[in-house]
Chain A
Amino acid sequence: MSPILFGAIVFTLGCYVLAMALALLRLYRGPSAQDRVLAMDLIYTIGMLVMMVLAIRYRSSMYFEAALLIALFGFVSSMAMAKFLLRGEVIE
C-alpha cells in the first residue's frame, strides 16, 4: 500500500469520526424527535462508509457484508421510527 493511499485512508477515517461526533451533537441537542432520527440515520450511513474504507485498508471483501447489513438495519430502524412518529404505531 503506497503512502499516498495510506494517508488518504487515515484522513478519510478522521473526517468520518469528526462527522460522527457532529451528528452525535445534533442527536444530543436536537429539538425534535425527527432531528434525532435524521442524525441517527446519518450516523448509520457514516458507519457503513467506515466499513467500506476499512475494506480497502485491509484488502478484504468480508467488510462489504457488514456494510450491507449496517445499511439494511439503518434503513429499517429509521423507517420504523419515522413511521412511529407519524402514526403512533409501526404496523397498523
Chain B
Amino acid sequence: MNPELFGWVEAAVALLLVLSGIFTLAAAVGIVRFQSFFQRMHPPALAFSFSSWCVTLASILYFSARREQLALHAWLIIIFLSITVPVTTILLARTELFRRRTHDAPSADIPPALSHDLPRPAPSRAEATEPRADR
C-alpha cells in the first residue's frame, strides 16, 4: 500500500481508538458517580456498544490496510457482544427489581409484578387491600 494512504489509515485508526478510550472513561465515571442502580445500568452501555464498535472498526481498518485484503475476523466480537449484552442487562435489571420487591421495604417507585407465581384462591376484601407479601 502506498505510504501516504497508509498514513491516513493510521490517523483514522488513532482517532477511533481515542474515541473509544474517552467513551470507556465516561462509562466508568458514570458507573461511579450515579446514584441508584437503575441509573448505573446505563453508562456501561457506552463501553459495551460505542467503544467496542470503535475498536472493532479500528482493527478491521488497520489489518485490512496492512494485509491489503479484507480482514473481518474482528467482526465476530461485535456480533457476540450485541447478542450477549442485552441478556446480561435484562437479567441484572430483573434481579434489582426482584430484590427490591422482596428484601427491602416496598417503595412506591417499584412497579408491581405482572405475573403471580402461584394461582391462589380469590382473596377477601381485607386481604386484597394489604400489600403483597409473596415469598
Task: Report which A residues bind B (CB closer than 8 A).
Answer: 1-2, 4-5, 7-9, 11-16, 18-23, 25-26, 32, 34-35, 37-39, 41-42, 45-46, 48-49, 52-53, 55-56, 59, 61, 64, 67-68, 71-72, 75, 78-79, 82-83, 85-86
B7 at the binding interface (Cβ < 8 Å): yes
Instruction: Please tell me the number of chain B residues within 8 Å of chain A, measured between CB atoms.
Output: 51
Chain B interface main SS type: helix
Q: A22-B28, A38-B31 are in contact. Are A46 and B17 (CB under 8 A)?
A: no
Task: Report which B residues bind A (CB closer than 8 A).
Answer: 7, 10-11, 13-15, 17-18, 20-22, 24-25, 27-29, 31-32, 37, 40-41, 44, 47-48, 51-52, 55-56, 58-59, 62-63, 66, 71, 73-74, 76-77, 80-81, 84-85, 87-88, 91-92, 94-96, 98-99
With the chains together, A23 CA to B47 CA distance in Å? 12
Known contacts A49-B20, A75-B84, then 10 further A-B pairs from the complex at CB < 8 Å, ordered by chain A residue: A4-B14, A11-B21, A18-B25, A19-B25, A22-B31, A26-B32, A34-B99, A49-B55, A78-B88, A86-B95
Chain A interface main SS type: helix
A83 touches B91 (CB 8 A): yes
B44 touches A38 (CB 8 A): yes
Nearest-Cβ distance from residue B4 to partner chain A, whole angstroms: 11
In the complex, chain B residues whose CB is within 8 Å of the CB of A48? 52, 77
